Amino acid sequence: MIDPSLKKLYFLNNKRSNIMKTLTSVAVFTIASVLSFNAMAESKVDKSIILNKSVNKGNAAIAIGKGNSANVGSVALKDSKISKSIILNKSVNKGNAAIAIGKGNAANVGSVAITGSKVSKSIILNKSVNKGNAAIAIGKNNTANVGSVDIQ
């Protein structure tokens, strides 16, 4: 027969072990997600349609820190090759805020941003509806856009 106090101690240790397994699983999944996202950073889009038809009401997208981005109802393409494609942002944005604070950040509401990409034989259309929104960027080299198209 096991002493009840030892039984409780075993249960707590076992519970901590399960929590650690869960945290480890979450950490591994997060790292894998970041690595796969970084692998997609240089993408090729060919003969495709990219459509953002989101309806956003009363949301806030906030990015704080170096190199972050905050977007509501936006399409952002970076370091990609786009050819024979249609990029359409038809988002409806009401009462939203995109806020970026820090160095090199961007805040966008209902915008299309294409940076460091090659675009050929494609259509880029921003037909977003923006009412009562705020895009705020505070810091060095920041950008704040509402309902815009930005190609660099």
- Per-residue pLDDT 10s for the chain (152 aa) are 555 554 554 454 444 444 444 444 444 444 443 433 344 456 788 888 888 888 888 888 888 888 888 888 888 888 888 889 888 888 888 888 888 888 888 888 888 888 888 888 888 888 888 888 888 888 888 888 888 877 77
pLDDT at 29: 41
The terminus-to-terminus CA distance of the chain in angstroms comes to 73
Instruction: Give yes or no: residues 134 and 75 share one domain.
Output: yes
Instruction: Give yes or no: residues 18 and 51 share one domain.
Output: no
Instruction: Give yes or no: residues 98 and 50 share one domain.
Output: yes
pLDDT at 115: 81
Instruction: Give yes or no: residues 48 and 120 share one domain.
Output: yes
pLDDT at 36: 38
Cβ atoms of 41 and 67 closer than 8 Å: no
Per-residue pLDDT of 98-125, as tens digits, reads 888 888 888 888 888 888 888 888 888 8
Instruction: Give yes or no: residues 29 and 88 share one domain.
Output: no
Instruction: Give yes or no: residues 53 and 72 share one domain.
Output: yes
CA dist 73 and 48 (Å) reads 20
Instruction: Give yes or no: residues 16 and 55 share one domain.
Output: no
- Output the DSSP codes for the chain: ---HHHHHHHHHHHHHHHHHHHHHHHHHHHHHHHHHHHHTTS-EEES-EEEE--EEES-EEEEESTT-EEEES-EEEES-EEES-EEEE--EEES-EEEEESTT-EEEES-EEEES-EEES-EEEE--EEES-EEEEESTT-EEEES-EEE-
pLDDT at 23: 41
Counting the structural domains of the chain, the total is: 2
Instruction: Give yes or no: residues 141 and 86 share one domain.
Output: yes
Instruction: Give yes or no: residues 65 and 133 share one domain.
Output: yes
Tokens of 95: 């009462």
Domain interval for residue 8: 1-39
pLDDT at 24: 42
Instruction: Give yes or no: residues 35 and 48 share one domain.
Output: no
CA dist 106 and 136 (Å) reads 8
Instruction: Give yes or no: residues 76 and 22 share one domain.
Output: no
